[in-house]
Structure 1
Amino acid sequence: MRILIVSQHFWPEGFHINDVARSLVAQGHTVDVLTAKPNYPEGRIFTGYRAWGCQQEDYHGVTIRRMPLFPRGKDSKVRLALNYLSFIFSGYAFGPWLTRGQKYDVIFVYGVSPILQALPALLLGWLKKSPVVIWVQDLWPESLSATGYVKNRFILKAVEKVVRFIYHHTDLLLVQSRAFIAPVRKLAPRTPIQYHPNSVDESFAKPAMPASHPEVPALDAPFTVMFAGNIGAAQAVEVIVEAAALLKAHSDIHFIVLGDGSRREWMLQQVRQQGLANLHLPGRFPVETMPGFMQKASVLLVTLADREIFAATVPSKVQAYLAAGRPIIASLNGAGADLVAEAGAGLTAPAEDGTLLAKAVMTLYTMSTNERCVMGERGRCYYQAHFTHEKLIGELIQQLEQTVHRTQGHTA
């Protein structure tokens, strides 16, 4: 197949779609990516790129076609809105020109927030008579309300109408969580919907090479609780600060928060103000170092805010944690916590409950090393049975091919 991936984010930004694109090429498919200039999560355009102008790159056989983008900045709702809107504008203005003369069997949208990025894909699907498949990673407009970025009900209703339009004009909707099916179905009663979970690069499931990771404070502490990923409002990282404060008398226990995001500076302030010598925020590291970091930790931590939308979400880091074979604490509600419990891979605590998070940490701390290893191994076995990258890439190819076959009568 000739596949066009439309995604606001792509390499060198660390998103799972990078692995998907490489694997599709490895399976013999031709893959182009229509994307923007990299700026996530720092909020500024990466070195070697500039916000304006178009450019083309090659990435492991994937042809990347980049469009202009207004950088998102930090802690600015206005800049974030302009960032989202600029991708849509660039998609309309430059997408048809950058893909001129190209024919595609299918257009595949990596539907992280904002789902509005699918609008240019719909235009390209119409122009090129290609079916459009969206992999829904986040629920809109619910996520806008839950994260507090938009509270005006009229704006939320308008966004809902746009999302309904997008879903209605899509040939297949893939959802990353089974709990997404009902809310997506509500907006797309006639569009086919299938479950397709996230995976991670196979390196997460392989033993890390000794000394394969940079030096990080407290990584060699007797007991480490590691959080890795975006440090934002959706992650409710206040719960980590609360648990660290409750456990700061236990000198063996250290919290390590890897990554960057809108709430990192607030966490650093709390470390200083509360004297939390047991809470470390060393920053963001290349994605290839993550398997080594995770496998070095005693426990891996995932958190989400106490919102209805997040109860339907399975953070993609859960699959990475399962693959790493370390015990997991899921400080969240709903689908993500249920998955960890079903796998027998760790403990759960209600979202935003620092007291019960601290209790879960102490429970794992008092376990023997062997008990924790057994728990981690159960998680890895569950990952191998349900979430391996090879298995899910095969299923994705089948879903795309079936969509092409089903729609070829009116796309020819």
Structure 2
Amino acid sequence: MRVGLLSQWFDPEPGPAGLPGVLARGLASRGHEVRVLTGFPNYPTGRVLPGYRMTRRADEDRDGVRIRRVALYPSHDRSALRRLATYGSFAASALASGTGALRGLDALWVSNSPITVSLPMWFVRYAHRVPVVLHVLDLWPDSVRASGFLGDGPGRALAERAMGGWCAAMYRAAARVAYISPGVGELLARRGVPEEKLVHIPMWADETPAPPSAELRAELGIADDRVVLVYAGTLGEAQGLEALIDACALTDDPRLLCLIAGSGTAEDRLRDRAEASGARNVRFLGRLPRERVPALMAAGDAHYVSLRPGGMSAYTMPSKVQATLAAGRALLVAADGDVATVARDSGAGITARPGDPSSIADGIREVCELGREKLHLLGRAGREYYTRAFSAAAGVARVEAALRQAMETRRSR
């Protein structure tokens, strides 16, 4: 097949932004002609990454994939206006300078976030008559509401209704709508997406082998007998990390060391809370370079995943769940819904009540009592579960099948 990928985020951007690249390479390795329309890489710093220079458009070939990059306004700071400029500029630029690269495709895979990507998607769908597989990686407007991006002003309800209608139009345009967890699928069905369009395609992880765990531990001066709990990711409102800080303050086991890596709107407040609460077992690492993330994953004996209770927590599946399972590490999960289910079903997780420092502290104590050796056994069970349920090979095969179904839908019409 001649298949396309439309995503604002792509390699060499790190973390979840790099996962469309895994899909592109996987489809190319299966013999498909793969074309990608994306922006110039700038996540997460808001600065164009070394080796790239912003121009109106640029084409490159990488790993058997043809990539067209288009200009955008790069920003990932706390300004809502600048973030909107980033999303809107990519959509406009992709529409004006990129859609020609997607002409003549058999099917197109689209990452739904941000939803402004719908502008080039609709053009390719209706002008070029290319059927679309829309992968719902973030629920809008739910994720925007949970992040606090909309604020609490009088226009919030109007903005949410507008985004809801926008998303509904995207779903109608797609031949297939892929969802990443059972809860998301149920929600999309309640929002009117026909059952025959829905297909479950969980997200995969970057499966780059991690270095020996001793590397970063030695660099940070962490003794071999310390049990390391890692949180790596966004330090924002939706994660509810205040409860983790409070739980660490309640834990007096001398083996515990909690490493928090990342940045976000709540970072300064979390640092102040750790100092005020006397949580001496918490160490903030800031944002690590992409190449250091595998070492951080390997250094943790268990990895912490949390979501603030209520709102989206019942059907959100943070990408760090798959990343932790793929790295063969245990999970401590303070969340409801699909995340907690994966933690239990995989055999790799300990669960706690989200937002409850006492319950989370009990989970931390269980992590410490298990010790490094038994935690590694939990991680091994998680890796086996990941291979069955979330692996890149399985994900690529599912996307390939959905693209083929979309192509056949067009032919049958």
The two structures have a TM-score, normalised by structure 1, of 0.90
**1:82 partnered with 2:81:** no
Q: Which letter does structure 1 place at the counterpart of 2:240?
A: A
Within 2, Cα distance between the matches of 1:24 and 1:261?
Answer: 34
Aligned partner of 1:178 in structure 2 is 182
Q: Deviations over 1:364-406 (max 9, x none)?
A: 1012444323322221221222222212212221221122112
C-alpha distance 6-218 of structure 1, shift in aligned 2 (>3 A)? farther
Within 1, Cα distance between the matches of 2:6 and 2:336?
Answer: 31
Counterpart among 223, 227, 230 of residue 223 in structure 1: 227
How far the C-alpha of 1:201 sits from its partner, in A, is 3.1
**1:246 partnered with 2:250:** yes
The answer as to whether partners of 2:327 and 2:383 remain within 8 angstroms in 1 is yes
Within 2, Cα distance between the matches of 1:288 and 1:46?
Answer: 14
C-alpha distance 210-228 of structure 1, shift in aligned 2 (>3 A)? closer
SS of equivalent residue, structure 1 residue 83: helix
1:92-171 alignment to 2 at 5 Å? Answer: 92-97=95-100, 99=101, 102-111=103-112, 113-150=113-150, 151=152, 152-171=156-175
The answer as to whether partners of 1:134 and 1:174 remain within 8 angstroms in 2 is yes
Q: Deviations over 1:233-285 (max 9, x none)?
A: 222222232223333x4442111122333333443444555554422232334
The answer as to whether partners of 1:122 and 1:132 remain within 8 angstroms in 2 is no
SS of equivalent residue, structure 1 residue 4: strand
**125-134 or 168-177, which moves further after superposition?**
125-134
**195-204 or 132-141, which moves further after superposition?**
195-204
Q: Which letter does structure 2 place at the counterpart of 1:5?
A: L
1:248-287 alignment to 2 at 5 Å? Answer: 249-271=252-274, 276-287=279-290
Q: Deviations over 1:283-339 (max 9, x none)?
A: 334545434432332211111222332210111211121222222101111110111
Counterpart among 320, 323, 326 of residue 320 in structure 1: 323
Percent of matched pairs sharing the same residue: 29
Counterpart among 44, 48, 54 of residue 57 in structure 2: 54
Counterpart among 75, 91, 95 of residue 94 in structure 2: 91
**1:8 partnered with 2:8:** yes
Within 1, Cα distance between the matches of 2:235 and 2:183?
Answer: 24
Gap runs ≥5 in structure 1: none
**1:301 partnered with 2:304:** yes
Q: Which letter does structure 2 place at the counterpart of 1:198?
A: M
Counterpart among 3, 21, 34 of residue 24 in structure 2: 21
SS of equivalent residue, structure 1 residue 16: helix
The answer as to whether partners of 2:253 and 2:365 remain within 8 angstroms in 1 is no
How far the C-alpha of 1:89 sits from its partner, in A, is 1.7
C-alpha distance 323-48 of structure 1, shift in aligned 2 (>3 A)? closer
C-alpha distance 316-62 of structure 1, shift in aligned 2 (>3 A)? same
How far the C-alpha of 1:30 sits from its partner, in A, is 1.5
Within 2, Cα distance between the matches of 1:17 and 1:219?
Answer: 35
Within 2, Cα distance between the matches of 1:182 and 1:27?
Answer: 31
The answer as to whether partners of 1:32 and 1:64 remain within 8 angstroms in 2 is yes
SS of equivalent residue, structure 1 residue 32: strand
Q: Deviations over 1:180-213 (max 9, x none)?
A: 1122123343360010101123335xx6357665
Q: Let me know the Cα RMSD of the aligned residues.
A: 2.4
**208-217 or 174-183, which moves further after superposition?**
208-217
SS of equivalent residue, structure 1 residue 234: coil
Q: Which letter does structure 1 place at the counterpart of 2:126?
A: W
C-alpha distance 215-13 of structure 1, shift in aligned 2 (>3 A)? farther
Counterpart among 401, 404, 408 of residue 401 in structure 1: 404
**1:199 partnered with 2:188:** no
C-alpha distance 48-76 of structure 1, shift in aligned 2 (>3 A)? same
SS of equivalent residue, structure 1 residue 260: coil
SS of equivalent residue, structure 2 residue 379: helix
Corresponding residue pairs, total: 404
Q: Deviations over 1:65-86 (max 9, x none)?
A: 1112112241111211222222
The answer as to whether partners of 2:69 and 2:98 remain within 8 angstroms in 1 is no
The answer as to whether partners of 2:39 and 2:71 remain within 8 angstroms in 1 is yes
**151-160 or 181-190, which moves further after superposition?**
181-190
The answer as to whether partners of 1:218 and 1:224 remain within 8 angstroms in 2 is no
The answer as to whether partners of 2:179 and 2:185 remain within 8 angstroms in 1 is yes
Within 2, Cα distance between the matches of 1:137 and 1:373?
Answer: 30
Aligned partner of 1:372 in structure 2 is 375
Aligned partner of 2:211 in structure 1 is 208
Within 2, Cα distance between the matches of 1:245 and 1:227?
Answer: 16
**346-355 or 329-338, which moves further after superposition?**
346-355
SS of equivalent residue, structure 1 residue 154: helix
Within 2, Cα distance between the matches of 1:262 and 1:162?
Answer: 27
Within 1, Cα distance between the matches of 2:164 and 2:218?
Answer: 46
SS of equivalent residue, structure 1 residue 203: coil
SS of equivalent residue, structure 1 residue 329: strand
SS of equivalent residue, structure 1 residue 301: strand
How far the C-alpha of 1:13 sits from its partner, in A, is 0.8
The answer as to whether partners of 2:25 and 2:63 remain within 8 angstroms in 1 is yes
**236-245 or 31-40, which moves further after superposition?**
236-245
SS of equivalent residue, structure 1 residue 128: coil
C-alpha distance 215-7 of structure 1, shift in aligned 2 (>3 A)? farther
How far the C-alpha of 1:220 sits from its partner, in A, is 4.4
Q: Which letter does structure 2 place at the counterpart of 1:140?
A: W
Within 1, Cα distance between the matches of 2:291 and 2:30?
Answer: 22
C-alpha distance 209-327 of structure 1, shift in aligned 2 (>3 A)? closer
SS of equivalent residue, structure 2 residue 228: strand
The two structures have a TM-score, normalised by structure 2, of 0.90
How far the C-alpha of 1:105 sits from its partner, in A, is 1.0
